[in-house]
Structure 1
């Protein structure tokens, strides 16, 4: 069995950046991704536009040219795919890492297709695969989804969108403009302050004019086949409903990290323990890269400020 210098778990933008850096330094490396290239970005809504400008999404100083200052999902897919193919990165797709075990000298990775050995591991798996659930009755009904894709699907339907973040606001506006009857259910007292600055006035104005219904200071009590029952500051309300988009955020796969032996902060943020200068965790030879470093603070790390992780990690491995 071949022994790799480093195996990178996750083929998103930061995992690709790590692969580029490992290749430049002459390391024997492999990227393993459970879905297609940049799987998380592939599963973003079809019309999604980034908050960051294109140059801030660039990796390894490879220019990212987009039609607008802030690129869209399809442009990002093209950009990162071309980087992988033109650089002939060693990337195994549609292969899930099930476990990582360590002995004194090396790690053994068991995947859905094979077994590998490596002296170092980089975990760059992001957080988009595990939604935060509401844990209410009816959440598992077929009408409920924690992911949003295409607004056309909801045309002519009574749609409840739960949340007040960028994803929720984008979904509410797009579906309203495709003919859905949209009700926005917000736990707080206003639309989130982190919503894209050019979008936030749009949703506020659509709410003010009555085009989109909203319930502030409200949580979901129960979901049925035909209704959504909510707790509001004025008591329990029943909303007639066909579909629910529960866009309540996402979280890293903590169980996977725990199995590897990675420790976490003792507060409720569950931030993994790692060295700020090398990105190495408390487990020698295991490094973290990208948004997974933020634990439950999923707004802390993103592509533009975690691109530097690749060089930090690989420099530490080769020293």
Structure 2
């Protein structure tokens, strides 16, 4: 007679223990991932759970182990391919470590980010990975860190948060592409970002609350100053928060008597709109306008011409943040770590000498 309970009923730890021929306590240790058991016993319990299609009671397990088996992640814009790829890195590591990921999109809005953190803490996530919308507004992240749950920052660091942080070498990357454009004779170089100010006008780098973008702008302006270019702050355009906004910004620049000869797009979503708007205006890339975009999105290699990009280690950013967090969850207690990953300039065909 088949000893397996009907599939329509809820399979319990006791059912798994009975089938595996072990005590309920032993089965609970294996299924809960705590305590020590021999490999043969673990294999027997795992096989029994699989055969019975056992589904753990997450609430009961969290009450027993103090763990929910979940990691909360808050990012700025999941429609941006950058964050989508970073999430892939996070989820791959989390899954291998036995964690489920709960993702919340902040839309780069601090109020939404704060609500997301409250929601995730209420759900008793074991740890958090956050890409802060504003590095100047992180009190809620301080509180989350003080709650005892490990916190890792993704792509954007903070001077006031002593937590594990993973970023790319954004400043160095921006310096490199700016030097390259200046060497090709470009002087009217625009930098376009989705970051914004209350009056939609950029004045100084501290206007930019997103650390990764601020480091790029600082690198851009620093190299321009070294080259003797004055007033380049006026070439930093903010507020490209949607495709429509980006088209408006680019169209106005291209219709100006002081038209840029090169544009640096702060992400691939902006880069795509620059490409499309330039083409619609009949401006040839790269003969009349050079274009460089941060992030090696799929579209950048198949356009005509293909677009020169700063390839960021996006998957590794997510992967590394998740690894640091899992290490914390497994008992790592040393001081906070700051990991800086290298970028790479991929030269294609969208950059040329400045037009005469």
TM range (shorter): 0.3 to 0.5
Task: State the TM-score, normalizing by the size of structure 2.
Answer: 0.31
Which structure is higher in strand share? Answer: 1
TM-score (normalised: structure 1): 0.34
More helix by share: 2
